[in-house]
Amino acid sequence: MGKSYILSIDQGTTGTTAMILTDSLDVASKVTVNFEQSYPKTGWVEHRPEAIWSSVRAAVIGAIGEANISPENIQAIGITNQRETVTLWSRKTGKTYHPFIVWQDRRTDYFCRKLKEDGFENEINQTTGLLLDPYFSGSKIRWILDNSTETQLDSEKGEVVAGTIDTYLVFRLTGKEVLVTDPSNASRTMLMDLKTLSWSERMCQILGIDIKILPQIKSSSEIYGYTKGLDFLPSGIPISGIAGDQQAALFGQVCFQKGEAKCTYGTGSFILMNTGDNPVFSQNRLLTTVAWQIDGATTYALEGSSFIAGALVQWIRDELRMIESSAEIEALAETVDDNGGVVIVPSLTGLGAPYWKADVQGMMYGISRNTNRGHLARAVLEAIALQNYDLFEAMKKDASVELISLKVDGGASVNSLLMQFQSSVLNVILSRPKIVETTALGAALLAGLGTGIFKNLNEIKKRWKLDQIYSPNKTEYIDESIKRWHLAIRKILTD
């Protein structure tokens, strides 16, 4: 019998990564296929469903070829995804009624403001753990329902389903038969009761959404269905793990104990901390979310997110043309000793936690005649880290713990200058794993648990591998950077 492998499909904001792992947590292959972003209007971000599906197909084919394995040896499939991104489609034909509205999209800001004016903000927060913001899926679903005549007609026939990307991918992978999501994704819709882990009739009523169009909520690790009718995978492979990207990264970082935390550097940056089996409701405008549910046991997390992190590097690469590839920013930033007084507030799509200001724009502060490309590059990297300082401080207050370490992952975690600055700003030890694609790793681990490839969490923890540690170096420059950051934040909030 051939060797067993787990296929992880990580469907992200700018591309899809397919990763094939062995049960000893060795990466056999990893292939990423990017797809086009669409910005129809200011503040709008969309993805074409077929572009996403094509990227999944191409990435999986590429990963199987790179690993040089037979697809029949894939024993389980795990899925992780950009969480709040959502669309509606026909459960009968699979036809989508609208492009996916991406988590970054702000078109429903007016709707969320109206709900606040009508006094629903506290009730939504206490039921879902979320703040009333366009970020989450519920208002996006409402918008599609309001703006698609075809959706309204098919909804009357009971054919419409609303789903995040995990639901869409399982639907397509199973031959359009299975409609499921897991609590980590459902908890990001503004429609799930955080304590019962079921769709809330009351939240659906407030947002004007028929609860019948929502998929079934199952655990994060079990067999949901099997591949069927695909031209790139054989039928009969179990799909056995689902988690939203940030929760998958928390799991992939083996943060299984209460108080353990991670930061993922992707398009945005996301800090999650395991808060155990009880939800901790934030007093500092963080989010309370489900981390995962396994064998009937639910683990919760506190989350702070910055909308723009790696996307800021992409911006200076693609729009300012300062660098040709994202990897070049570290070398450019190292041409100077400091930021030259430049502070960048990267609120290109509004400010996330703990400020939650959807209507502010980005700002570059402190430019002088001596400012050069190196200063701007350094200010970009430091902006990513300084956003996380505010999140980290809020998280420590909510959880009433003094965190002394943080696990890091994602593309930018390989940037040593950024990681050293981040460690010093937070004044904590940073630990980076061997596999920095912990989002894909977490989905694979959940899939392996769901099929018995891994017996328990302890077995997984023993196989997890550490790569590098960064220790803080608190200096006057670090303290001054934090002060200048908060000065810039005050300016942008009071404009």
pLDDT at 181: 98
The reported pLDDT for the residue numbered 1 is 44
Instruction: Check the CA dihedral 231-236-237-243 and report its sign.
Output: positive
| Nearest C-alpha neighbor of 364 from the set 492, 493, 480 | 492
CA neighbor of 77 nearest in space, from 254, 275, 223, 194: 223
Closest among 91, 370, 414 to 265, alpha carbons compared: 414
pLDDT (tens, 9 = 90+) of the chain, 495 residues, equals: 457 899 999 999 889 999 999 988 999 999 999 999 899 998 899 999 999 999 999 999 999 999 999 999 999 999 999 999 999 999 989 999 999 999 989 999 999 999 999 999 999 999 999 989 898 999 999 999 999 878 877 777 788 999 999 999 999 999 999 999 999 999 999 999 999 999 999 999 999 999 999 999 999 999 999 999 999 999 999 999 999 999 999 999 999 988 889 998 888 888 999 988 988 888 888 889 999 999 999 999 999 888 788 888 989 899 999 999 888 999 999 999 999 999 998 888 777 778 877 778 888 888 999 999 999 999 999 999 999 999 888 888 887 777 777 999 888 889 999 999 999 999 999 999 998 889 999 999 999 999 999 999 999 999 899 999 999 998 999 999 999 999 988 888 887
Q: Find the angle CA(23)-CA(63)-CA(409) to the nearest 5 degrees.
A: 65
Rounded to 10 deg, the angle between the 476-494 and 373-399 helix axes is 80
Task: Give the per-residue pLDDT at 305.
Answer: 83
By the 8 A CB rule, do 125 and 131 touch?
yes
Fold of 5-245: Nucleotidyltransferase; domain 5 (3.30.420)
Per-domain boundaries in the chain? 5-245
3-state SS class at 63: helix
